[in-house]
Structure 1
Amino acid sequence: MQFTATTLPEAIKSLFEINHYRVEGPLQIHGAEIDLVARNLSDPFAAPVYIEATVEYVDNDKYGKDVGKLAMIAEIEPDAKRLIVSSSGFTLPVKERAAKTRIMTMTYDELFASFEKFERYISLFSGETEEAAVLEALSNIYEEPYFDDHHGKDLATAYLDEWKAAEKDSKGWLVITGEYGTGKTALTKILQYRWLKEYKANPQLPLPLRLELREFTKQFDARGLLHHFLDSNNLGHVSVDFVLSLIKSGRAILLLDGYDEMAQYLHARERRTCLEALAELSTGGAKGILTSRPNYFTEAEELQVFEILYSSFQQGQLLLTKDSKSVLEQEKQVDDLLEQFIDRYERSLSDLSHEQTVALISRVLDHDEEGKIAVLNLLKRIFRSIEGNDALSLSGKPVIVSYLLDVVEELKSSSSNQLSDGITEWQVYRLIVDQLMMRDFKRCPDILPAARRDFLRKVAMFLSKRENALIDQNSFKDLISKEFKKELGRLPPEARSHHLEKLFADLRASATLTRSTRHEVEGWKFSHNSLREYLVAEYLLAGLQQKDIVLERVPISDAMRIFVASIDSDSKNDFLKSMTALWQNSNSKMDRGKGQLLTLLWEGLLSIFQKEQDPAALCLKAVASEPPQLQHIELDKLELSSERHPAALKGANFNSSTLYGIKFSSAKLDGANFTDCTIEGCNFSYADLNNATFSRSLLIDCDITGASLDNADFTGVHHTDITVVIDEKGARKVLDGKNAIGYLRYRGAKTDQVENLYVLKNHQDFPVVDKILVKLAEHPIRQRIGLEQRGAARQDVTLAKSFMLFLEQNKLVAVCKNRKELVEVTDKGREIINLYSKSDTVPEAILQFFE
C-alpha cells in the first residue's frame, strides 16, 4: 500500500479509531510536535499511545530526529506507550536501539496485523478441533465440481482461487447458484478450510469469513450480520468497524452460504433490505461469495422495482425532497449490486459428471467392491422427468451420492436393486430415509421405524419455521413429550422423567440429524437441508392421504415441489382425488391447509394434464370446480398461466386470498374476484382483467403490462396500498400511490376518486403539454421556438405547436407586441397556469385541449 506524508497519519488514525480509540493530532507538547496520540476508549485506565508516522525508510539519522520527541514523552508520562510507524521500514540497528529504549517500531502492515485477533476463529476451523477434523475429512474425499454456464466451463475451486488473487478492480462479488444438493455448502466449507490454511501461512492473504444465512430469518443490516459472525465464533473482542474495514479493503472475503434458505422466509421488500446490507459490504475493494438456489436473483419485479424512479430523478422528471433523493440513491445502490450479480458475475455450479461420480465412490469405497457396485447400480437408474418425454440423470447430484454412500451397508443387504429402472427423486429419498430408519432401529429397537419417522417429520416442520435454525434441548424434549404423550402417560410419574431422557438420548442420535455446537445454545438440525424438505413434503402429503390436513404454515421450497412432482402417476391421480374431496369440504378451518397443499402439489398435478391445450385451467377445474373457487387460501410462486399456455380462468374466485409471486400472464380473468386480497409480486401482464374485482385489496409490485382493465373494479384500494409495474417501450416503470390509481383509471378501471392530474399524465401527449406549462409557470415570457421545438417538445413538434396555438386562441398566452418571437402569459393564463403548477388539479381550460 502506497502512502504519502498526509495519508499515512490518516490511515493510522482511522485504524486506531475503528478499534475503539480516540485519536488526536498533531499535538504540540512542550514545544515538540507529536503526530498522533491514541487513547483507549474501552479501558480508561490504559496508557496512551504516542505515535510518530513517517513514509521514509528509518535509518539512524531519521531515528535520531524522532527519538528526541518520544524520549521527552517518557519523562513526562513514564507509562505511556511510544510508537514509530514507517510505511517503508526500519534498519536492523534502529529496531535494536528502539527496543532497548522501549520504543515500538512497526510498519503499517505490522500495525494493522496487530489488530487482527482472529486466532480463535482460525484455530476452530484449521486447528486441533472437531470442526477442523470434519473439514479435513471433507477435503480428503472432496470431488472438485465445475462451473458450467454461459461464462464457460471452469473447475470451481481453481476459478475461485484465481478470483481471490485477482486485482481489486476485478469482479468484487460472485453469486454461485445451483439446484438443491449440488454442493454449494460443501464448496464454501472447502474454501474456508483451504483459504484459512493459506492465511495461516501468509497473513497478507485475505481472511475468509464464512456465515450461514439460514441463521438469519429476519431482515438484517451489515453490522448485524458481522455481529452475528463475531459472536458465533468467539470473536466478541474484535471490533465490527475493524471487520468492516477488512472487508472493504479486500483483506477479508465473505463466504455467505444459503441466501435462498433465508429468502424463503422473507417478502420481496425484506429481501431488498438484506441485499442493501450486502451493497454496503460490496463497496471499495470488497470481495464476497453468495450461494443460492436459482431464481432468487432473476425476478425482474424484485430486482428493478426502483429503477424507473431513479432514472426519472436523474433526468429531472420528478421533483423530490432531499430525503426522497437519499432514499432513491440508496435503492439505486441495491439495484447496482443486483445488476452486478445477475448480469456479470453469476456462476452456476453443476452436478458431478459420470467420471467424477465414479472417482468419488471409488475413493470412498476403496476397499468395498460390493458397496461400490451397489451404489453405482442404483445411481445409474435415478432420473428426473423433464419437458416432453425426456429424462435427466441425477447420478451426479452430490447430496444423493453422499447419502447413498452413508447407507452403503444397508444397500448391500436390501432389496433396493429390485427397484425398476427410472428411479425418481421421491423414490431415492424415500429409500435413503427407509435405510436410515432401519439403521436406527438396529441400534435402538425400542422405537419402531414408523414412530421415529413420524417424530422426525415433526422435527422437520419445527425446523422449517423462520425462527428455528435448529432445535435446542428444551424444544426437543417438549416435542418428545407431545408426540410420545400416550407412551409416557402409561408410565408411573417417577418413571416418566427417566423414559423421557432415554427417548431424548435415542432420538437426538438419529442418523438424519447432526449436532450444532456453534451457537449460544446447543441444538440439532438435519444433516442436509434437502432431507428436511423431503420429510416436510412427506408429512404434508401423509396428512392429505389420511384426511388429517396439516394447518401449520411452512415455506414450500422449490426442492419440495421437485420431490412431489417426481411421484409416480398413480399416486398423483390419488392426490388429485384427495384434493378434490378436500375442496368440497366446507370446513373453513381447512382453508389454511388447502393453499399450502396446492402450492406443494401444483407441478405434479399439472403434469396429469400436460397434453391438454389448457392444462392449468383443467387442473384447477378438477380440484376447485368451475370457475375455480380459490378463496381464503394462500398461494406462493405458482405459474397458473403463461403466454405459451394462457389459462381460461374467467370468473375465478380468489376472494380474501393471499397471493405471492403468482404468474397470471395472458390469463383470461374476465370477471375474476380478487376482493380483499393481498397480492404481492404477481404477474398479470397481458391478462384479460375486464370486469375483474380488486376492491379493498393490497397490491404490491404487480406487473400489469398490457393487461385489459375495462370496468375492472379497484374501488376501496387506498393509494398507500398499491404499487404496480408496467413495461413502457422496453423500460420498466413503477407506479405507486396516486400514480398507480390514476393509471388504472386512465386504462378504464373503476377506482376511488383521484386528482385528474394523475389520470391525465398517462395520456401520450401529456409530457409535452406539461413541460410547456411548467416553463411558462417558471417565467411568463418565453421564446416561442424554445417552447415548440426544444426540450420535451422535440418528441412531437407538431403537438407542441398545436398546444401553443390552443393557448393563444384561448387567450392564455399572447405574442409580445414588440418581439414577435416571444410569447407572454396573459392575466387569465397566469391564474390558470399557476393553479396547474401548484396543485394536482388540471384546470378545465387545459383539459379542453386533450378532449
Structure 2
Amino acid sequence: MPVDFTQIDPEEFELLCEDLLQAMGFSIEAKVARGIDMGKDVIAAQTVTDRAGFAETRRYLVECKHYATSGKSVQERDIGSPVARMGTHNCDRYILVTSTIPSEKVRAQLASIPNVVPHYRATTWSKGDLVRLLDEHPDVRARYFPSEVAPAPIPASALADTVEALLTAMGFACQSREAAGDRVRLVCTRKDAFARPVAVVCKEGAVERGDVEALLAEVKAQELGSGVLVTHSRVSPAARERAAATEGAVRIFTLDAFYRELINFEDYVRALVADYEDDKLSIYYVDLGCRSTDGSIYKPMDAYVDAWLDDPARDHISVLGDYGTGKTSFCRQYAAKLGRRWLADPDRNRIPILISLRDYAKAMSLQQLVTDFLVNRYSIQAGYEAFIRFNADGKLVLLFDGFDEMAQKVDYQTTVDNFEELARAVEAHSKVILTCRTPYFRTSREAEELLRGQTSEVSQTSEVLIDLTDRPNFA
C-alpha cells in the first residue's frame, strides 16, 4: 500500500528510519539527536555469522534525506563525502535513506566507494524500498502513519482479468482458469514456444508462506515450468523468504511489481532523468505560466498539470504557444519530475514517455511510432500490444512534443491523419500531453478544430486546451 511521506517532518523521518532499523534486527549505537550530527543521523550495527562460525560486526552510517515535499532527488552536494565520514565514525557500511530517490550521479558515487576503500560498501533505500520495508513491519508503519485507511481488497476475479490481459499482451496463451475461494488459478504457456506451462495464482489479500508451499507442491506434482503468485495486497516476509529459497520455481509479485517484471522501463526512465539533470536547463529552468481555455491563469504550470494527472475525467492536454515560450523545456523538466516520482515509488506513479515528434517527418501510424521509439531507439523489449495494455491500464504519461515540427514537413491532410493517429493513444485511463506552436496553423479556427479533435475519433476524447502566452514565465 502506498505511503504519503509528506505527512511527517524531517525529524520524524529520521526517527522512523531508526525504528525501522531496530525492527529489522539492527542495534542502534548512535540515535537521532538535535543539533550538529557530524554527518550522520544514525549509527547502527549488526553481527553476522558465516557458515564456519566466524562472527563479524558491521557498523552502518545511516544518512536520512527527507525531500518528499519538494520531490527533488538527492544530489552529490547533499551528501558530501560518505567515505570520509565513514572513517570518522568507524563504519564500514553506508546507507542513504531518502523519501524520494538519489540522482544518477549519487548512485554512481556510492557504487564506486569499494574502489576507494575495498572493504567499504554503500547502498540506498529509496521511497519504494521504504514502502516495502514498512509493509513488512506494519507496527512501525502504524506508529508514524496512524490515519492510513487500508484499501478494500480487490476481488481475485478482477485481479485475474488484469493479469490474464497482461499475459496475453506479452505473448502468452491462457489455457485454463479456475476460481476457488480467495484465488483464481491460470495455466499459461508462451505462444510458439516449446516451454512447460506456468501456473499463475491470483490471490485476494496478502500472500503468506503457506501459499508458496502449496504452489510449489503443485509445480512439482504436475511438472509445471514454474509458479507465480500475484496479489494486489502485500507479501509477508516469510513468503518472500520461502519463495527466494525455491530458486525460481515459485515467484511472488504485487500487481504493480508484476507490470514491472513484464516490461522493464527503469533504464529508460533513469536515462530520461539523467539527461535533464546533466543539462544546464535543470539549473536555469524557470517555471512557466499558462492560461486555460476558460481564461484562468496558472503559475506554475506544473501545478495545473499535476491536478490534471489526478483527475480521472480528463485524459488529454494540448499545450499551445509561440516559438521560444518553453514548450520543449517544460516537457523535459516535467518528464524528469515524473521520472523521479516513478523511480521513488513505482507502485503509485505513472511512467513518463517523452517522444519528440520532430524526429518523425512523414505519415506514420501510432504502432510505427511506438515500435520505433521503444524497441529501436531504447531497446525496451515490449511489443505494441503490451504498450497499448499499459496505456489503457493507466501506467503511462505520454508526452508528444513538437507536433508543429512534424506537421511542417507534410501536407495538411497528412497532418490531420497524423493527429488522428496520435489521438488513438487517448483512452479512458490514459494521460496524453501534446505540444504545438499556434502560429503553424493558417487560422486560429484551424488550430482549434484540429487540436480540439474535430474528427469522428478525436471528438470522443475529453480534451483540455492550454495556451501558453507569447512571453516566457507569464504571470
- Normalising by the smaller structure, the TM-score range is 0.5 to 0.7
Correspondence 1:91 to 2:236: yes
Query: Which amino acid counterpart does residue 335 of structure 1 have in structure 2?
Result: S
Q: 1:34 to 1:255 in 2, by over 3 A?
A: closer
Cα distance between partner residues in 2 of 1:305 and 1:146? 21
Correspondence 1:159 to 2:317: no
Match of residue 7, structure 1, among 145, 158, 162: 158
Match of residue 432, structure 2, among 271, 288, 299: 288
Structure 1 residues without counterparts, runs of 5 or longer = 308-330, 357-851
Deviation of the 1:162 alpha carbon: 2.1
Cα distance between partner residues in 1 of 2:253 and 2:158? 17
Cα distance between partner residues in 2 of 1:333 and 1:218? 21
Query: Which amino acid counterpart does residue 87 of structure 1 have in structure 2?
Result: H
Correspondence 1:347 to 2:471: no
Deviation of the 1:219 alpha carbon: 2.1
User: Contact (CA 8 Å) 2:206, 2:233: kept in 1 or not?
Assistant: yes
Runs of 4+ in structure 1 off by over 4 angstroms are 300-307
Query: Which amino acid counterpart does residue 194 of structure 1 have in structure 2?
Result: K
Match of residue 220, structure 1, among 364, 381, 386: 364
Normalized per residue, the structure richer in helix is 1
User: Contact (CA 8 Å) 1:19, 1:241: kept in 2 or not?
Assistant: yes
Query: Which amino acid counterpart does residue 237 of structure 1 have in structure 2?
Result: Q
Query: Which amino acid counterpart does residue 234 of structure 2 have in structure 1?
Result: G
User: Contact (CA 8 Å) 2:298, 2:304: kept in 1 or not?
Assistant: no
Query: Which amino acid counterpart does residue 258 of structure 2 have in structure 1?
Result: L
Match of residue 272, structure 2, among 125, 128, 134: 125
Using structure 2 for the length normalisation, give the TM-score: 0.59
User: Contact (CA 8 Å) 1:206, 1:250: kept in 2 or not?
Assistant: yes
Deviations 1:359-396 (CA, angstroms, capped at 9, x unpaired) = xxxxxxxxxxxxxxxxxxxxxxxxxxxxxxxxxxxxxx
- 1:724-743 correspondence runs (5 A): none
Query: Which amino acid counterpart does residue 199 of structure 1 have in structure 2?
Result: W
Correspondence 1:37 to 2:194: no
Q: 1:146 to 1:306 in 2, by over 3 A?
A: closer
- 1:411-450 correspondence runs (5 A): none
Correspondence 1:256 to 2:400: yes
Match of residue 245, structure 1, among 385, 389, 393: 389
Cα distance between partner residues in 1 of 2:452 and 2:270? 44
User: Which residue number corresponds to residue 226 of structure 2?
Assistant: 81
Cα distance between partner residues in 2 of 1:158 and 1:126? 17
Cα distance between partner residues in 2 of 1:227 and 1:132? 24
Q: 1:247 to 1:259 in 2, by over 3 A?
A: same
Correspondence 1:335 to 2:459: yes
Q: 1:164 to 1:239 in 2, by over 3 A?
A: farther
Cα distance between partner residues in 2 of 1:143 and 1:305? 28
Q: 1:350 to 1:134 in 2, by over 3 A?
A: farther
The alignment partner of 2:174 has SS state of: strand
Q: 1:165 to 1:346 in 2, by over 3 A?
A: closer
Cα distance between partner residues in 2 of 1:200 and 1:304? 32
Match of residue 203, structure 2, among 47, 54, 62: 54
Cα distance between partner residues in 2 of 1:300 and 1:113? 38
The alignment partner of 2:355 has SS state of: strand
Cα distance between partner residues in 2 of 1:57 and 1:227? 37
Query: Which amino acid counterpart does residue 96 of structure 1 have in structure 2?
Result: E
Query: Which amino acid counterpart does residue 332 of structure 1 have in structure 2?
Result: S
Q: 1:94 to 1:236 in 2, by over 3 A?
A: closer
Deviation of the 1:26 alpha carbon: 1.8
Query: Which amino acid counterpart does residue 168 of structure 2 have in structure 1?
Result: E
Deviation of the 1:256 alpha carbon: 0.8
Deviation of the 1:5 alpha carbon: 3.0
Query: Which amino acid counterpart does residue 123 of structure 1 have in structure 2?
Result: R
User: Which residue number corresponds to residue 147 of structure 1?
Assistant: 290
User: Contact (CA 8 Å) 1:120, 1:235: kept in 2 or not?
Assistant: no
Q: 1:302 to 1:95 in 2, by over 3 A?
A: closer
Using structure 1 for the length normalisation, give the TM-score: 0.34
Q: 1:301 to 1:192 in 2, by over 3 A?
A: closer
Q: 1:133 to 1:13 in 2, by over 3 A?
A: same
User: Contact (CA 8 Å) 1:147, 1:347: kept in 2 or not?
Assistant: yes
Correspondence 1:271 to 2:415: yes
Q: 1:353 to 1:55 in 2, by over 3 A?
A: closer
Cα distance between partner residues in 2 of 1:54 and 1:216? 44
Query: Which amino acid counterpart does residue 412 of structure 2 have in structure 1?
Result: A
Deviations 1:486-527 (CA, angstroms, capped at 9, x unpaired) = xxxxxxxxxxxxxxxxxxxxxxxxxxxxxxxxxxxxxxxxxx
Cα distance between partner residues in 2 of 1:126 and 1:97? 36
Q: 1:336 to 1:298 in 2, by over 3 A?
A: farther
User: Which residue number corresponds to residue 177 of structure 1?
Assistant: 320
Q: 1:162 to 1:37 in 2, by over 3 A?
A: same
Deviations 1:307-343 (CA, angstroms, capped at 9, x unpaired) = 7xxxxxxxxxxxxxxxxxxxxxxx5222334xx54xx
User: Contact (CA 8 Å) 1:50, 1:70: kept in 2 or not?
Assistant: no
Match of residue 298, structure 1, among 441, 445, 467: 445
User: Which residue number corresponds to residue 104 of structure 1?
Assistant: 251
Query: Which amino acid counterpart does residue 318 of structure 2 have in structure 1?
Result: V
Cα distance between partner residues in 1 of 2:253 and 2:380? 26
Query: Which amino acid counterpart does residue 57 of structure 1 have in structure 2?
Result: A
User: Which residue number corresponds to residue 203 of structure 1?
Assistant: 346
The alignment partner of 1:265 has SS state of: coil
User: Contact (CA 8 Å) 1:146, 1:350: kept in 2 or not?
Assistant: no
The alignment partner of 1:181 has SS state of: coil
Cα distance between partner residues in 1 of 2:226 and 2:472? 58
The alignment partner of 1:281 has SS state of: coil
Query: Which amino acid counterpart does residue 50 of structure 1 have in structure 2?
Result: A
Deviation of the 1:4 alpha carbon: 2.2
Cα distance between partner residues in 2 of 1:5 and 1:105? 15
Deviation of the 1:305 alpha carbon: 12
User: Contact (CA 8 Å) 1:148, 1:350: kept in 2 or not?
Assistant: no
Deviations 1:524-556 (CA, angstroms, capped at 9, x unpaired) = xxxxxxxxxxxxxxxxxxxxxxxxxxxxxxxxx
The alignment partner of 2:410 has SS state of: coil
User: Which residue number corresponds to residue 171 of structure 2?
Assistant: 20
Query: Which amino acid counterpart does residue 121 of structure 1 have in structure 2?
Result: Y
The alignment partner of 1:345 has SS state of: strand
Cα distance between partner residues in 2 of 1:157 and 1:232? 33
CA RMSD of aligned residues (A): 3.2
The structure that has the greater radius of gyration is 1
Normalized per residue, the structure richer in strand is 2
Query: Which amino acid counterpart does residue 202 of structure 2 have in structure 1?
Result: A
User: Which residue number corresponds to residue 765 of structure 1?
Assistant: none
Q: 1:290 to 1:303 in 2, by over 3 A?
A: closer
Q: 1:57 to 1:83 in 2, by over 3 A?
A: same
Q: 1:125 to 1:97 in 2, by over 3 A?
A: closer
Deviation of the 1:292 alpha carbon: 0.6
Cα distance between partner residues in 2 of 1:82 and 1:253? 32
User: Which residue number corresponds to residue 139 of structure 2?
Assistant: none
User: Contact (CA 8 Å) 1:23, 1:36: kept in 2 or not?
Assistant: yes
